[in-house]
Structure 1
């Protein structure tokens, strides 16, 4: 199962919030966020520093001032308003708000040029975060509680599964068919949230992360079992509301108050 879109920002936001609440150490934030890889932050003036150094600005930010955003075209929920941060976050579908003045967005992965093979040995095994100033008068985020997000996700799952039953899901690739079947099952898996998050937020995050990963797998094989344009469109229409609910649920779980 591939990592769902936005996982880098979700992980950074969750562990940074727990750190600012005094529940985990700064080293734990770095360990969980970087996984041993190099993470750099590029500022608008062209200067670059380590993620550890850049996070110093967050040492004065309250936990609730740190949040993840998982926007997409047509659904900019959570963004602080027009500006370079919001524009960049929309491109990659994720970002982290650090207080009132700074936002981090992971740099999109560069694709090889035409006819140029991508040699794994030549790739930099790390992440570059682009730092962007936030609007002087940010738009207040639209709050979505864990309970509301849980309800919306459950409703979207029920409607999506009903729509998929009317499609020929039996001929989906085995990995995707198995993933779709898991939507009916338990709370799912995915990276655990740090200490401080309540049981309901943990369950919601795990379930929404699993669903997002399944949908990411579905996007790899866009045709699925569809044999014509109508069936392709029908499957996409069935999955779209679930994708929206899963994104919103993941953000709601990560941004929920710590206990």
Structure 2
């Protein structure tokens, strides 16, 4: 699929699943066959936020995801640290140079050892533009295991501009789509109650609008807070809105 056709596809896509499947296919055509995409809207100076609130998409093996993401190993990854401080595309050559110069911190070296063990040796990282200090998104593009970093850099010299553009447009599209993190999916009633709160309605108003008792409305709001792991209804509205869960078109 050429660049223009891919952008046309993204404009008409309706789910994260269809975008991700096609994006993996497109990157594989450039010989980047294992990807990890992620973003957070809850970054601080010392944290990326609650991992359960991350949007994470990957086609790596379950073993790699478990070891790299679920165990928290990702936080010490040299290219993630680079992405937090930079925007644009970064070659993994810089990591190879740090390894050669023996300047990698011990924690970062553990990440590299794990990657080498899993066949993740060469690639690029694209760090997306952030409009807020609380927001950060990036994608890791691991090249085919048989490729050296020199060969990957040659691919990038030829097609890097298109690859960056395709990843940026896919990222912007993903930001517009609903994302339900595991164990944090709202029910239709919980979502509707939060919508009315977002519209400035009181519990009494919402009860009339939904045809429920005030106590039942309070129950839906309490369960929504528990589902989203927040303490206040205002925070629940904000978190649901950030993940585009508020005004979802029902199938």
TM-score, with length taken from structure 2: 0.23
Using CA pairs below 8 Å that are at least 6 residues apart, which structure has the higher relative contact order? 1
TM-score, with length taken from structure 1: 0.23
Which protein has the larger Cα radius of gyration, Structure 1 or Structure 2? 2
